[in-house]
Structure 1
Amino acid sequence: MLDLLKSIYSKVPSWVSTGTITSAEAAVLSSMVQRLRPRVLVEVGTASGVSTAVLAAAADAADQQWELHTFDIMEVCYFDESKIVGQAALEILGERPNVHFHRSSTALDIKATLGDRQVDFVFIDASHSSPWAAIDLLSILPNLREGAVIALHDLLLPFREGYSHQNAARDIFRVWRGQKWTEASAPNLGILRFTDIKQTLADIATLLQADWDIAHSAEVIDDFVSLLSPFAEIDYPGEAQCRMFFAKCVPEVINGNQHTKPARFPFACGSQVHPNQTDDALRVIWKGLPTSSGTHLLFSAYASNGAADNPGAVVSVRDLNRKPDEIQSISVEPRTRTFIDFETGNCDHLDLEIAVTPTPGLHAYYAGIELSPFTVKGAGSSRKN
Structure 2
Amino acid sequence: MRAAALRAIALGLMVASAATATRADPGKEEIRIGQTLPYSGPLSGFGAIGRAQEAYFAKINAEGGINGRKIRLISLDDAYSPPKTVEQTRKLVEQDEVLLMFGSLGTATNNAVHRYLNGKKVPQLFVLSGATKWADPKGFPWTMPGMATYESEGVVYAKHILQARPDAKIAILSQNDDFGRDYVAGFKRALGSKAASMIVAEANYESSAPTINSQIAALKGSGANIVFGVVLGKFTSQLIKGMAEIGWKPDAVYVPTSASSITFLEPAGLANAAGLVTSSYQKDIFDEQWANDPDVKEYFAFLKQYLPSGDERNTNYATAYVNARLLVHVLRACGDDLSRENVLRQATSLRAVTLPLLLPDVAVTTGSDDYLPFQQLRLRRFDGKSWTALSGLLDDR
TM-score between the two structures when normalised by the length of structure 2 = 0.28
Between the two structures, name the one with larger relative contact order (CA 8 Å, sep ≥ 6).
2
Structure number with higher strand proportion:
1
TM-score between the two structures when normalised by the length of structure 1 = 0.29
Higher Rg of the two aligned structures: 2
